[in-house]
Structure 1
Amino acid sequence: MAKLYAIFDLDGTLLDTLDDLMDSMNYILKENDFPTRTKDEIKSFVGNGIRKLVERAVPKEFKNDEVFIDKLYNDFGKYYNLHSDIKTAPYKGTLSMLDEIKANGIEVAIVSNKIDKAVKSLSSKYFGGKIKVAIGEKPEIRHKPEPDMVLMAMQELGADKSNSIYIGDSEVDIQTASNVGLPCISVLWGFRDEQYLKECGGKLFADSMKNLTEKLINFTKN
């Protein structure tokens, strides 16, 4: 059986984090007397990191104010680090999927555009030893869709492009996998729908945790 390393996105792939992201973003917006955003709006804003979420959420006249966006980004980070785990939970079947692929010799990492402290905290709480490496957004490394974070995770795992696969739920994940040179499985329970993912170049899809488990185990047989 061939060795396989699976690099997972976090939000919309392993964890349903949308409510906590929305509540934190809306807290910051209200603190600045801005209109709040709906869940569907926040869903469409996520994927490119927290700073981009902030840019997309503020009124249009503030989007190009770099100093102000930096302030809100920092405010969001402080608030979210304390409120990232109020409503967040693994998607149904996530833990059994991780157990089953681990039993088949597949090692796992998380790479997320979420703030690094929150990524490590959430990974430790929900997944413990099931996840070997968890990397989030930090100033010294370019975030997805640039390849840097995934390459760092692969290095920590001892993986290479010949034995690695990427799993995510968005167009950012498809582009990230392409930039690294990895196959990508797009999950369909996250923040984007299948048609949109196909338009963004998605080719492999999983519509359930069971389906994802089967696809990953089949990769070890190729």
Structure 2
Amino acid sequence: MMRKTPVDLLIFDLDGTLIESKWDIARSVNLTLAELGLPERSLEEIFGFVGDGVKRLLRLAVGEAHEDRYEQALKVFRGHYLEHCLDRTVFYPGIEPMLRHFAGKEKAVATNKSIEYTRVILDGLGAHHFPVVVGGDNGFGLKPEPGMLLHIMKQVGAAPERTVLIGDSTNDINGGHNAGIRVCAVGYGMGNRAKMEACQPEWFIERPEQLMEIFE
């Protein structure tokens, strides 16, 4: 039997790690583009834009040819996403039992998503597991910069060697390593497996429940 790794703090990415949110993001992007009279994007294109925060998402969706509409798109998107961000967004299967299993551990969310959207979604899903939640516009930079992860560890009082980051993107893996912490990549989210494996996460899981087998 594999020996479990002791941790005090589990830091989770949000989109593609805790929540299945891509459908609501894609719908809100295309509603925004339609309202601005711009060509809509395929779902695959939009899914590929997710992970670097809302500003980059909208910049890529609008495209270089319509860059002058970017600021307007940002405002329009906010209205659509706040209206639709909980239409189909749910915790991935297995997330809630896993979070209950780690009830005695410190848990936090570190996401490049805007804190406004993050709070609305977590509150709407009834998530009470995360005393510390940091978004991409909280002033600590975006992953793969280590700022938000270092801030969370300081807030909680956890040592890097007793912390793990769980995420579905190269930004998560590189961000964790830049902060001096180990990373568990997830294969069920939106991330590209080959690109994630190239970043050499310490663990790679296919189901959230596997975290219970790895950490204690």
For 1:25-40, what aligned pairs fall within 5 Å after superposition? Answer: 25-40=29-44
Do 1:54 and 1:69's aligned partners in 2 also have CA atoms closer than 8 Å? yes
Tell me how far apart the structure 2 counterparts of residues 216 and 124 of structure 1 sit (CA, whole Å). Answer: 27
Summarize the Cα distance change of 1:98–1:139 in structure 2 as closer, same or farther, 3 Å threshold: closer
Q: Distance in 1 between matches of 2:11 and 2:84?
A: 26
Where in structure 2 are there 5+ consecutive unaligned residues?
Answer: none
SS in 2 for 1:143: coil
Q: Contact between 1:120 and 1:136, CA under 8 Å: does it hold in 2? A: no
Runs of 4+ residues over 3 Å off in structure 1? 200-203
CA deviation string 1:94-129 (max 9, x = no partner): 100101122xx3221001111101212222332532
The CA distance in 2 between the partners of 1:52 and 1:74, in whole Å, is 14
Aligned to 1:74: 75
Distance 1:139 1:125 in 2: 20
CA distance in 1, matches of 2:162, 2:122: 23
Q: In structure 2, which of residues 3, 17, 32 is the aligned counterpart of residue 13 of structure 1?
A: 17
* 1:59-91 superposed Cα distances (whole Å, 9 cap, x missing partner): 33134x4xx323322322233123211110110
* TM-score, length-scaled by structure 2: 0.90
Secondary structure of 1:137's aligned partner: coil
- State the partner residue of 1:211: 210
CA distance in 2, matches of 1:119, 1:173: 17
Whole-Å separation in 1 of the counterparts to 2:70 and 2:140: 20
Instruction: Give the aligned residue type for 1:69.
Output: Y
Contact kept in structure 1, 2:7 and 2:164, CA below 8 Å: no
Aligned length: 212
Q: CA deviation at 1:203?
A: 4.1
Separation in structure 2 between the aligned mates of residue 74 and residue 145 of structure 1, nearest angstrom: 26
Residue in 2 aligned with 1:138? Answer: 137
Report percent identity of matched pairs: 30
Per the TM alignment, residue 215 of structure 1 is displaced from its structure 2 partner at its CA by 1.6
Specify which structure has the higher proportion of helix. Answer: 1
Aligned equivalents of 1:160, 1:71: Cα separation in 2: 42
Residue 220 of structure 1 is matched in structure 2 by none
* SS of aligned partner of 1:129: coil
RMSD between aligned alpha carbons? 1.9
Once the two structures are TM-superposed, the CA of residue 159 in structure 1 deviates from its matched residue by 1.8
Query: Alpha carbons of 1:143 and 1:157: their partners in 2 closer, same or farther (altered >3 Å)?
Result: same
Asked if 1:158 is matched to 2:151, the reply is no
What SS does structure 2 have at the residue aligned with 1:212? helix
Deviation at 1:134? 1.5
Output the TM-score relative to the length of structure 1.
Answer: 0.87
C-alpha separation between the residues in 1 aligned to 2:215 and 2:74?
36
